[in-house]
Structure 1
Amino acid sequence: MKSLLLPMPGNEPLADALAALDAGEAGRVCWRRFPDGEGLLRIEADVGGRAVDIICTLADPDPKLVPLLFAAMTARELGATRVRLVAPYLAYMRQDIRFQPGEAVSARLFARILSDHFDALVTIDPHLHRIHCLSEVYGIPATVLGAAPLLGAWVAAHVPDAILIGPDSESAQWVSAVAAHAGVPHAVLEKTRHGDHAVDIALEGLPPMAGRTPVLVDDIISSGGTMLTLAAGLERLGHGKPACLAVHALFPEAVADRLRAATCHLVATDSVPHPCARMSVAPLIAAHLKQEAQT
């Protein structure tokens, strides 16, 4: 029997795309909010005896967490044989150490919460830095899928003369993988962060770029400060407007407007629903779910 795909509100298009690719059978989850702010969840499918995949990308995670946990717990109470989380974007990976006294190490706490309520996790390119593998913090099987083939194919089709540029050492893993799939060169720069929005990027490390179109690549764009600083620096050096690619687009529309003005292309996957999403992660996830179902 196919797994039952239960999308949390807002994730229905991905669940329907997965079902169309024969990766499961799509159901529905209803979340109703009462005037006092509490919510009521209802699973609109028979989960008894079924393996369940709850689909929920975790951008803006705080308001999503209670409904998500209610869905997992309810599915289990109603007889689901397995409850797995499919979260194309996995939140709370950046705060992986205690930077200041008294701070929560959010990455570990969030991992503990999800591990207590799900049997397994599937995600795409989580922001791994000091945590090198999800198994270091998650107590359940956690599968990481890579979006590099999607980004590489986009670059090869739209910017064949590209040179890929990562803004810092954290981006190196994604930039090198995308460059390999696109068959183009790449470079990684050094960044100094002064806050949530202010950064300095050393451009001295740029290789010769004559005849190449710079393509900025990172796993996450949220405030846009890094990409805007890098784009401005490249334009000052006479390299023109770069393209800008991300796996996960977390930035608001106001930032998107500034990025569009500073770049020739602004593209991301649809791991997070976003106006700049041009690459579907559904085939990537569907291939994994179907492979897992056969084992």
Structure 2
Amino acid sequence: MKNLSNISPVIFSLNSEALVARLCKHLDGETGNYTTRDFPDGESYLCIKTDVYQRHCIVVADMSRPNSKFLPLLFLADTLRELGAASVGLIAPYLSYMRQDRRFLDGEAITSKIFAKSLSHHIDYLVTVDPHLHRYHSLDEIYSVPSKVVQGAPALAKWLKDQGDLLLVGPDSESEQWVSDIAKYSGHPFITGDKIRRGDRDVEITLPDVSSYLGLTAVIIDDVISSGQTILCCIKALHSAGVVNIKCAAVHGIFADGVDQDLLNAGLSALITSNTISHSSNVVDISPLLIEPVLECILHVSQSTK
């Protein structure tokens, strides 16, 4: 990375000002300045104020609830290109449109491929955190630009290591490998539950015997909280087993329909997320994990354009 020690990128925030401020410190970067507003008919106006000519530019955009963010992102990225940016990379701490990766019913759109193909036309590289790959083995299957995936687990594990005596709880068997890796680093015991999902909001969780852990604080660990139904069921199961103090820590907090408050009302003593998506629960900082992948991408782009 020594060849890029003085790149001083320009970093633009689409909706992630706090994360951009941290990235600017790590990368010795400049915060990109632009103005935007809507015309009376709903169309967008954009004017970039920072000189970006022959400079490496990064757009940071949390792509949760993406439909209202996609066009502004394209307008920003393409305008940076037109103004002569040396490169335009995207840090999407949360990457959307990974769910529909096949046609389950006749006539369905495979939106993950459509989204990836379109976005790839407007950026030089992509860095993201814990995307839900499902049936894809890597982002390279759908994105035509270089991509780097950052694992959020080390950041969670680092935070958990200093939180005292805990029992880490994976809500289902799919989380076992993930939770066990975090537990290995943080030094805490862990259990995983069995989940039966009958629908988006119809979930049942069964936990193993926790009687030997009743003196510990239970921390439910997940990669993303969206509808929150899995976590709500896990809280209920822990309460039924006699666990008194329950917290929840996740990488991505989407919190659809205000479920964050429902989780707290259900008995959580604390709700912790990383700063991939701006929220009052942001405690874990993932910005240090983004630096090396971003620099690698800029180096790759720089070498490929020589």
Q: Which residue of 2 is the match for residue 185 of structure 1?
A: 189
- Give the 3-state SS of the residue equivalent to 1:117 in structure 2: coil
Show CA shifts across 1:139-172 (max 9, x none). Answer: 11110111212211221212x3222222224333
Judging changes above 3 Å, is the alpha-carbon distance between structure 1 residues 191 and 67 closer, same or farther for their aligned structure 2 residues? same
Q: Which residue of 2 is the match for residue 6 of structure 1?
A: 12
State how 1:66-145 maps to structure 2 within 5 Å. 66-145=71-150
TM-score normalised by L of structure 1: 0.91
State how 1:166-177 maps to structure 2 within 5 Å. 166-177=170-181
TM-score normalised by L of structure 2: 0.88
- How far apart are residue 245 of structure 1 and its match? 0.7
- Give the 3-state SS of the residue equivalent to 2:105 in structure 1: coil
- How far apart are residue 293 of structure 1 and its match? 5.6
- How far apart are residue 132 of structure 1 and its match? 2.4
Can you give the 5+ residue segments of structure 1 that lack an aligned partner in the other structure?
none
- How far apart are residue 237 of structure 1 and its match? 1.4
Q: Which residue of 2 is the match for residue 284 of structure 1?
A: 289
- How far apart are residue 77 of structure 1 and its match? 1.3
- How far apart are residue 210 of structure 1 and its match? 4.6
Is 2:192–2:208's contact at 8 Å kept on the other side of the alignment?
A: no
Bigger shift: residues 168-177 or 16-25: 168-177
- How far apart are residue 70 of structure 1 and its match? 0.9
Runs of 4+ deviating beyond 4 Å = 204-208, 290-295
2:157 pairs with 1:152: yes
Is 1:165–1:186's contact at 8 Å kept on the other side of the alignment?
A: yes
Cα distance in 2 for partners of 1:107, 1:226 equals 24
- Give the 3-state SS of the residue equivalent to 2:78 in structure 1: helix
What is the one-letter code of the residue matched to 1:154?
Answer: W
Q: Which residue of 1 is the match for residue 268 of structure 2?
A: 263
Q: Which residue of 1 is the match for residue 304 of structure 2?
A: none
Cα distance in 2 for partners of 1:149, 1:225 equals 25
- How far apart are residue 241 of structure 1 and its match? 3.6
Judging changes above 3 Å, is the alpha-carbon distance between structure 1 residues 120 and 234 closer, same or farther for their aligned structure 2 residues? same
Is 1:163–1:186's contact at 8 Å kept on the other side of the alignment?
A: yes
Is 1:129–1:170's contact at 8 Å kept on the other side of the alignment?
A: no
Can you give the 5+ residue segments of structure 2 that lack an aligned partner in the other structure?
1-6, 301-306
Is 1:2–1:25's contact at 8 Å kept on the other side of the alignment?
A: yes
State how 1:42-57 maps to structure 2 within 5 Å. 42-57=47-62
- How far apart are residue 54 of structure 1 and its match? 0.9
Q: Percent identity?
A: 40
Cα distance in 2 for partners of 1:108, 1:167 equals 29
Cα distance in 2 for partners of 1:52, 1:241 equals 45
- How far apart are residue 16 of structure 1 and its match? 2.0
Judging changes above 3 Å, is the alpha-carbon distance between structure 1 residues 277 and 97 closer, same or farther for their aligned structure 2 residues? same
Bigger shift: residues 120-129 or 23-32: 23-32
What is the one-letter code of the residue matched to 1:217?
Answer: I
Cα distance in 2 for partners of 1:269, 1:293 equals 25
- How far apart are residue 195 of structure 1 and its match? 2.2
Show CA shifts across 1:27-86 (max 9, x none). Answer: 123221111111112222112111111111111110000010111111111111211101
Show CA shifts across 1:236-287 (max 9, x none). Answer: 1112242101100111583222211321221001110001111122222235
Matched residue count: 293
Judging changes above 3 Å, is the alpha-carbon distance between structure 1 residues 23 and 208 closer, same or farther for their aligned structure 2 residues? farther
Judging changes above 3 Å, is the alpha-carbon distance between structure 1 residues 237 and 287 closer, same or farther for their aligned structure 2 residues? same
